[in-house]
Structure 1
Amino acid sequence: MTVVSLPTTLAPSRSMAIAVVGGLACALAIGKALPVTMDTISGALAPLCATAAESSPLDKVEPIDSYALPNVPGKRVTIVRVFYGPGGFSRPHRHAGSVTAYITKGEIRSQLGGGPVETFGVGQSFFEPPGSTHLVSANASTTEPAELIAVFVADEGAQLTTLLE
């Protein structure tokens, strides 16, 4: 195993951002090496995109891509962009598998069940373990839009987002 030391001048949040971007690059490289049909991608993303219709017209989920993981049979990585308009939010929900979110615009408020409400800005990320209850997912601003990139690693064919009552 190779251990890479980062310069001490890098802040932990920047190191995390570098790791997330590196993971995305690897996932995209693996996916480009595999033939994937649009039917497969659409089928994997449909459950996630269906939940976007239940929010404000300014809040939306945009599928980026989805790839089977050849070294982890039965698992798939799916990448989406989540847009929140000013004051936008998602209802409490749960995701299949693991999710890493990377903030690309504005600030996002987030709270996982049992944890504190946290605010993440551009360049920061957060992780949701499998089965977590995401109680708060919202734009921290009532005047500016916000967005994030979410990377899911879940079972093939899983419903990626389940809204909670």
Structure 2
Amino acid sequence: MTAMNLAASQRPVPSRAFAMAAIGGLACAFVIGKVLPVTLDTVSGVLAPLCATAAEGSPLDKVEPIGSYALPNVPGKRVTIVRVSYGPGGFSRPHRHAGSVTAYITKGEIRSQLGGGPVETFGVGQSFFEPPGSTHLVSANASMTEPAELIAVFVADEGAQLTTFLE
């Protein structure tokens, strides 16, 4: 028996659970492959205005779509989830959002100011809420040396432009 054959004969045989998981994963990949192109087109079209943050404060600033789903129990409404990452010193210029937004901080600290209210700083595990149409004057990484990140959950009308930057 050659070393190659010996090594092959000593490999563990996949368990039935592993095989079932692999088959399930392939089935899910097939379904996602059929559905995802439409979903990504929808999400990217809806989120395009959000992605303009990249050149604002730091080259590391970005908005990544996580998902977008019609709400079957609320006809005409959609929930959209995005990850907003700010590099050190990163920020978004003043803007407003269609619908309601809840932000949850997952990394670092975020400074936020809504419609003339106080500037507040939120850390990991904290959240804040933006009522529909409120003006988000400050949305920024509180640190000049560390990155910050939040997950934003939008609930808005189907087809609404989620973010409008103010001039």
TM-score, normalization by structure 1: 0.74
Tell whether 2:103 aligns with 1:101: yes
Number of equivalenced pairs: 131
Amino acid at match of 1:78: T
Alignment of 1:146-165 (within 5 A): 146-165=148-167
SS in 1 for 2:143: coil
Give the unaligned 5+ runs of structure 2.
Answer: 1-31
Report the AA paired with residue 147 of structure 1.
E
2:44 maps to 42
Percent of aligned pairs with the same residue? 89
Establish whether residue 110 from structure 1 lines up as the match of residue 126 from structure 2. no
Structure 1 residue ranges without an equivalent (≥5): 1-31
Aligned positions of 1:77-92 closer than 5 A: 77-92=79-94
Q: 1:100–1:150: 8 Å Cα contact kept in structure 2?
A: yes
The residue type paired with residue 153 of structure 1 is V
Structure with greater helix percent: 2
1:59 to 54, 58, 61: 61
Secondary structure at 1:65's aligned position in 2? strand
State the secondary structure of the residue aligned to 1:44.
helix
What is the CA–CA distance in structure 1 between the aligned matches of 2:81 and 2:123, rounded to whole Å? 19
Contact 1:59 1:85 survives alignment (8 Å)? yes
Q: 1:53 to 1:143 in 2, by over 3 A?
A: closer
TM-fit CA distance, 1:40: 2.7
1:137 aligns with 2:142: no
Cα distance in structure 1, aligned partners of 2:120 and 2:75: 34
RMSD: 1.6
Q: Is the 8 A contact 2:96 2:134 kept in 1?
A: yes
Q: Which of 122, 125, 134 is the matching residue for 2:124?
A: 122
Tell me the equivalent position of 2:72.
70
Moved over 4 A (4+): none
Deviation at 1:53, TM superposition (A): 4.0
Measure, in 1, the Cα distance between the counterparts of 2:107 and 2:88.
12
Moved more, 52-61 or 104-113: 52-61
What letter is aligned with 1:110? S
Q: Partners in 1 of 2:145 and 2:55 — Cα distance?
A: 21
Offset, 1:41: 2.9
Following TM superposition, by how much is the alpha carbon of 1:57 offset from its aligned partner in structure 2, in angstroms?
1.6
